[in-house]
Chains A and B, each alone.
Chain A
């Protein structure tokens, strides 16, 4: 398989800065909340350092041959096992591994507005400071 190179890579020197330690209460969306926290703390770009809790339902996606494929994980009580990714206002990309109430695992990109806290989510973000 060959892939056309269309632009240069972005390589940034920098360091990690402030941490935002948060709890999301019920019915708050994970991505919207992460972006709101960054905005409140004046952070342009952040990485997820910790993410743990439960969702009412999970809504994940991945890019398949026929476009964006949705994965619905019915809850309530979908457990967040890990979250990773970057927070950038309006353009955040977060991935998660979650488990349903039968303990079955699901993984994919988190869909904005569709992953609402069930009981609680502990979310810790850290600022990325480019040089």
Chain B
């Protein structure tokens, strides 16, 4: 099917190229989670710091927030229009920022790649040193803490994971909830 916009109850919808299969909500339940507060020091790489903090812990995946902090260097992506019919919108070239960057808001999912290794997915908003707003898909292995420590809260859960799987509807590789053996 050619991707196109449609409308439902006055709200714009988007029909992707691939089949729109039921169920539309994929979900699993776990009985509890473990809470973690992580404070990453100045000049540290955020992906490396997070993965080190998670090393040796029993968890399938984790979700959390960037609570506060700053960056000295980061790279993020915004969505752009492409000429690819199967993926008419995709992430563009990275926007790279240096200097004093102040976090406003951010969400993190620690998922698993196809082989079960941790995979970090993060969206965040921040202000650059000129006060200009930025927000999008943040690349954590290019994120260097700066100005002040970066505080992250995570909720770790086991038996279920967000694992990357190809999605036939959107043609993206996306995180899906899956049952998982204890890691």
Contacts and interface: CB of A to CB of B under 8 A. Distances in A.
A binds B: yes
Contact of B157 (A21, A27, A107, A119): A21
B11 A26 contact: no
Interface residues of B, number: 56
Contact of A82 (B29, B106, B162): B106
Contacts of A105: 104-105, 125, 133-135
Interface in B125-150: 125, 133-137
A102 interface: yes
B105 A82 contact: yes
B115 interface: no
A49 B105 CA distance: 14
A97 interface: yes
Interface in A20-34: 20-28, 33
A98 B121 contact: no
A80 B107 contact: yes
Contacts of B41: none
B176 A23 contact: yes
A124 B29 contact: no
A80 B26 contact: no
B174 A23 contact: yes
Given A120-B172, A122-B121, A97 B25 contact: no
Contacts of A33: 24-25
A22 B125 contact: no
A36 B27 CA distance: 11
Interface string B15-34: 01000100011111111110
Interface string B112-131: 00000000011111000000
A69 B111 CA distance: 37
B182 interface: no
B107 A119 contact: no
Contact of A26 (B20, B122, B133): B20
Contact of B11 (A41, A50, A98, A114): A114
Nearest to B172: A119
Nearest to B178: A21
A31 B94 CA distance: 31
Given A22-B26, A103-B78, 17 more contacts: A19-B155, A23-B25, A23-B27, A23-B174, A24-B24, A26-B169, A50-B65, A56-B14, A75-B79, A79-B136, A82-B123, A97-B105, A101-B78, A103-B95, A120-B167, A120-B175, A122-B121
Interface of A: 16-28, 33, 36-37, 40-41, 49-54, 56-57, 59, 75-77, 79-83, 97-99, 101-105, 107, 113-114, 116, 118-120, 122, 124, 126
